[in-house]
Structure 1
């Protein structure tokens, strides 16, 4: 009898729990069905829309947006990704609701390499990010600090020009030279010296390739083993270890140098970025402590942003000038007039070069280094443009699509720097049809640094040399195919002949 009662109680309890679960499942489903989510393309099991993204996701997402609208949900594996492809959507995310969309999702590869995302670019929103961003803006990348490194930029640009001169009219790999230029500038500015040799160059290349790789486990968690089998996890760990060993040695060298300086009254006390960060660490402003890992993470940020994206900008601008001889000739006329016979264009002279600045803007419009910017994540539920967006939704802005939108730009596929000559539109994050550096509180803090290198390098190459394709090919024959990783590069290196203009 007792056994029967216990059995009945067990059955009754089980049925009650089952009914409660069904009830709450029904309530949850009903609540979801009442929410209005952005439109979404049909997806496949497990991979979602991953198969539709292809090798150039910014192109694919632009085409999808034509069918599904300027705000849509694309499923990358099991992760829903909100994609914004219009000025209105971009402005609401980056300005109107900037605080809601200011977080970063934790991504496996950057998290491993950047010391648990203690950097600025990939760091989740919070007190640590606010303090590190403040240090970057006020101490590392302020206008005054950027100007203080003018001599470094001019010396490295002169060194690049000398290498081109030594080619004596033979074929020059300008892509490689631009990478060397930006690497040398960033090394001297950040670490105090250059690191010649293939080991450091290869390490930087592996860093950029790995940061741009797709981690399957980040989007389909139960397939995380694929990253181990493919070797991606091992490669990521190796790069993190190698850079950590390098940066440990750099920090130790700077600490020893600082100790030596204190005992040397007449020594040169000029500072690089590591020196500045070590000073901030010692000061402990308002109780905030900058630990060693944070210093190393910020230096890696500067390498990633300051080398790859900057050299890519220069590479695409020169490519467009080769494709458009009319623009090249007009730019050379401006450079020659302003230079007034100078052997090399200085940074002071750049301010007078309106057409040069228009050329760089137009190149950035067509060839945004990070076409989808860096992923964001919503911190709370929000109704956006009539759609319900849950907290924790990942977000990308298709900045490439904004730069090609025919409703915003006349003949958007054409390279026409003149469109910027009498226009107030700029790249500083206030005009949402043109945001190559992002916008809002998570916009790139290194705009001035990047543009300073861009302007000086492009101005001097075009001023001093006539550039042409080999075998007497016309500019229209230059292959402009791209390849997408963390940044969008030329698929093939830029190989040109350089003839002195005077």
Structure 2
């Protein structure tokens, strides 16, 4: 009994000494008072982004918070975001990898979680010039339009069933399946589902891996914040090892299939696995990097699409004025005798503004992925010590009443009154980040979200479930790195085009 108490006392003493050292050496931003060992973990609310936004009202636009003994600096204003992402971009371009993230990313051998350096520059160049070039994005358009129209067809078939007439549908089920099929086709070159809607064996295996990853990711462990106690979490370590082995085994099988197919036919397809395998030698990529990049595409492209469109549809259901205005524009540009395509988007400025307003109010990653200080740096007149994490509260930037008029109102017209960029040059509005770590797939995401919202508005009128007033809809976020709606959105669709326009436009092999 004496030994554990002695260890606890030693840890407590080390924490106090470290805190005193930091206080006298650095001028840290203010923040809530941390406790020894656990820091501010005791005080965090489940939806971190709302918790941090509330704290910014108390401690100011920049504050300190301790997750265990790890110092995190949170910035909540456009001016400070510019200091982080432009003025001090290179000094804050590393990543803070937890134990889980280190395992999933092959210790930073991917793009998203790699530290800034030669490897990051190399894979970033590959993504920008090869995977997300305008030529490849356009080449993959048939897959996007295939899956969006398949989703519309599925909603139509369900809503016209006699037993469902006038009933609300859970939109997340349709959006999630569409995102799954789309991103797996882009990444692995396979649909994993037949024409009857049955997922094949590989698809079921992949769904299990994805669901298991979500389960592991949402299960918070003190081992992440108290690394010296990790030896007490052997079961969790074993679960991580098992999950990693499953994901690796699945990916290597897909890679082998594509390598064999290319040797037989000599043909290369547009999807990412073929692109990475054919460019592997040119860019000197290890198998770990190829696997890490493929899973980056899956993790970055699946939940974020579902989340953004679900929030966007919730706002449109709550705001019939906006819904009607989108539909009037679609009727004017597209008409009612054909369906819209991505080629129509440049001629649909109000729909584009709706997409921007969705990203402003509901960025899918509301706390930008954490930046890590490579060296001591100053932000907002405060010291940021080397090794500290800096988080940009993108959710707070988009709702700051100092820079947005009536920020809690869903009003797409604001983006027609002022042409505001959402790809990293305007620090009031950063759904895809900025600087060296900006999301390379931003344009792909914008195209897909705009297309999905456009099709949903063009094909259907949407109303809340019977007996529910728009103002009573639950608009609270679910806890997590990415923020789903706490209560899955239900809406009643009413078809507004002729039945022959609800058929899937199949793309075949791309």
* TM-score > 0.5 by shorter chain: yes
Residues 37 and 348 (structure 1 numbering): CA distance in 2 closer, same or farther, change over 3 Å?
same
Asked if the contact 2:477/2:485 (under 8 Å) is kept, the reply is: yes
Render the CA deviation track for 1:135-188: whole Å, top value 9, x for unaligned. Answer: 011110122211111100111111111111111342422101111111111111
* 2:320 aligned partner: 325
Residue in structure 2 matched with residue 106 of structure 1 by the alignment: 97
- What is the alpha-carbon distance in structure 2 between the residues aligned to residue 325 and residue 293 of structure 1? 49
In 1, the alpha carbon distance for the partners of 2:215 and 2:433 equals: 22
Indicate the RMSD between aligned Cα atoms, in angstroms: 2.0
Measured after TM superposition, the shift of residue 214 of structure 1 is 3.1
Q: 1:468 offset after TM fit, Å? A: 2.0
1:276 aligned partner: 275
Q: Quote the Cα distance in structure 2 between the aligned partners of 1:378 and 1:56.
A: 25
Residue deviations 1:47-66, cap 9 Å, x none? 11112221111111111111
Give the alignment partner of residue 107 of structure 2, picking from 109, 116, 125: 116
Q: 1:227 to 1:431 in 2, by over 3 A?
A: farther
Out of 395, 416, 429, the position equivalent to 1:400 is 395
- Return the offset for 1:34: 5.1
Contact 1:108/1:215 (8 A) holds in 2: no
| CA deviation profile, 1:81-133 (whole Å, cap 9, x unmatched) | 11111111110010011000001122211111222221111111111111111
| Counterpart for residue 203 of structure 1 | 209
Match of 1:411 in 2: 406
1:143-162 matches, cutoff 5 A = 143-162=134-153
Correspondence for 1:486: 481
**SS of 1:121's equivalent?**
coil
Query: Which residue pairs with 2:226 in the alignment?
Result: 220
Q: Distance in 2 between matches of 1:183 and 1:474?
A: 31
Larger Rg: 1
1:248 paired with 2:243, answer no
Deviations 1:317-360 (A, max 9, x none): 00100011111111111111111234310111111111111111
**Cα distance between partner residues in 2 of 1:203 and 1:342:** 42
What is the match of residue 235 of structure 1? 239
Q: Distance in 1 between matches of 2:490 and 2:238?
A: 34
In 2: Cα distance, 1:120 partner to 1:215 partner: 25
The 2-side partners of 1:419 and 1:487 are apart by: 25
Structure 1 pair 227–359 and aligned structure 2 pair: CA distance change class (3 A): farther
TM-aligned CA deviation for residue 240 of structure 1: 1.4
Indicate the residue corresponding to 1:88 in structure 2: 79
Rate the CA distance shift 1:31–1:413 in 2: closer, same or farther, 3 A. closer
Is 1:474 equivalent to 2:474 in the alignment? no
Match of 1:432 in 2: 427
Secondary structure of the residue aligned to 1:489 is coil
Q: 1:344 to 1:488 in 2, by over 3 A?
A: same
Unaligned 5+ segments in structure 2 are: 1-15, 194-198, 498-510
Deviation of residue 71 (structure 1)? Answer: 1.5
Distance 1:291 1:67, change over 3 A: same
Note the C-alpha offset of 1:195: 2.1
- Conserved? CA contact 2:27–2:382, under 8 Å: yes
Correspondence for 1:39? 30
Aligned length: 466
Shift of 1:217: 2.1
